[in-house]
Amino acid sequence: MKQQTLAIIKPDGVARKLIGPVITRIENEGLDIKAMKLIKMTKEQAQGFYKVHKGKPFFDSLTDFMSSGPCVVMVLEGDDAIARYRKLMGATDYRKAEEGTIRREYATDIEKNVVHGSDSPESAAFEIGYFFNALEIM
Ligand code: CMP
C-alpha cells in the first residue's frame, strides 16, 4: 500500500555534509521524494514537533540540538514507506543499528543520529502537516 512518511536530515547530518549520501540511499531504496526543504527550527518549533517526548529526560537536549542548525525535511512516498525508511535509518541507538544502515554508518551519538523518520501512519500525518501544506507536496 502506498504510504507517505516524513524524513529529516538532522543538524548534525547537514553540518557534516551528509545530505547527498542520505538522499542517495533514499533514492536507491526506490522511495520517491514528494517534497523537500531546508529549514531551521526555533526551540519552540522543535518542542512542538517532538511533543510526544515531552517530559522525557532527553527532551530539552533534543530540542536544543534540533534547533541548533538547519535540517532537511522531506516527504517520502512508496509502498510501505514508513517501515522501509525506518529500516534504512536503523535503530535510534546507532550501536544497535544493523550494519549498512544510515545510523550505523554515520551516527555518533544516540541523540545526534543524523536522521529522523515517522514511526506510524498517525505520526506521519502529524509530522508531514507540521512542515508542509498540500500545495508543497507533489
Ligand atoms: P528520533 O528518531 O528523531 O526520535 C526522538 C529522538 O530523541 C531520537 O531520534 C534521538 O535523536 C533523541 N534521543 C536522545 N536520547 C534518546 C533516548 N534515550 N531514546 C530515544 N531517543 C533519544
Do residues 4 and 36 touch, judged by C-beta distance below 8 A? no
Report mean pLDDT in 10-residue bins for the chain, 138 residues. 97 98 98 98 98 98 98 98 98 97 97 98 98 97
Which three cell numbers mark 34? 514528494
Is 53 catalytic? The answer is no
116 pocket-lining for ligand 1 (C-beta < 6 Å): yes
Contacts of 31 (CB under 8 A, 6+ apart): 76, 77, 78, 81, 84, 85
Spans of all domains in the chain: 2-133
* Whether pTM exceeds 0.85: yes
pLDDT value for 42: 98
C-alpha to C-alpha distance for 78 and 46, rounded to whole angstroms: 27
pLDDT value for 1: 87
Which three cell numbers mark 4? 507517505
| Ligand 1 atom nearest residue 50's Cα | 5
| Ligand 1 atom nearest residue 66's Cα | 11
Instruction: Enter the CATH code of domain 2-133.
Output: 3.30.70.141
pLDDT value for 121: 98
